[in-house]
Structure 1
């Protein structure tokens, strides 16, 4: 019993020290290329506003994977384009706005977290959510490798 109290005190102090270091560690893992990583998402929004789904598909790696909410993963650039042709048609979606970025990573891989607002053809918000993308640098350009998002709408709990 007498050993337990010093051990728990040591563990508590260690945890407090570790928690103090988290902000410093997060600052050190922010992507050195944050503006270029953010530009990929902004290009997505620009291409969507133009209705250019082909251009959007070129923002993804050949073996990219979409992880949409309430659906199976979609793998590969061609399948991603087919998915977007069904869900992001210009007659349904007029654009997207991304903000509140958090970007982490290194020289060849990065993760971007952002808030998203999907817009209808009149520029009105039709959906709010969150997006997490993993990007890889290929041939000197950032490409989306994994793309996962969720809607902020309340869950329907009535069955």
Structure 2
């Protein structure tokens, strides 16, 4: 009788041990995300600069506004921030009623990750004859929207001295 009880205890112990050692069902293995490619992001931002320049130089406020995220913000000096694509389009539309100017953008530095990028650039605005009217620098934050890096925040200022008051 004692042998049967001992046998039962040993069997139960073996069952419990084997159950505890059994591997948990493995969760599906997620595919590894590719590492963020900053060089590809830089190429994309530079392509965006070409689109921005083309739209600005053609006085195309719609195409220019489309360089911005839907919730983008344009922060020009000496004025309130302009929020959202429609307001940005309107702002550039008003700018384009003046004299013909051309813009040239040059990427200085870029850093970030798959969530957002920050770019430092230099810019030059010239008249139709190529005479430099203004030049400066900007910081821009980009976010991915519809598979493309779009301007999320755009803040710039001039390298030129400020105009004296009253002029």
Pair in the same fold by TM > 0.5: yes
TM-score between both structures, scaled by the size of structure 1: 0.73
Q: 1:50 & 1:155 partners in 2: Cα distance?
A: 28
Q: Of the two, which has the highest radius of gyration?
A: 2
Secondary structure of the 1:122 match is coil
Aligned runs of 1:7-86 on 2, under 5 Å? 31-32=38-39, 33-86=41-94
- Unmatched runs of 5 consecutive residues or more in structure 1: 1-28
TM-score normalised by structure 2 residue count: 0.70
Query: Aligned-residue CA RMSD in angstroms?
Result: 2.2
Residues of 2 paired with 1:57 and 1:158: CA distance? 32
- Of structures 1 and 2, the one scoring higher in RCO (CA 8 A, sep 6+) is 1
Structure 2, gaps ≥5 residues long: 1-35
Specify the alignment match of 2:108 in structure 1: 101
Q: Is the 8 A contact 1:90 1:121 kept in 2?
A: no
Match of 1:63, SS state, is: strand
What is the aligned length?
Answer: 130
Show structure 1 runs of 4+ deviating over 6 A: none
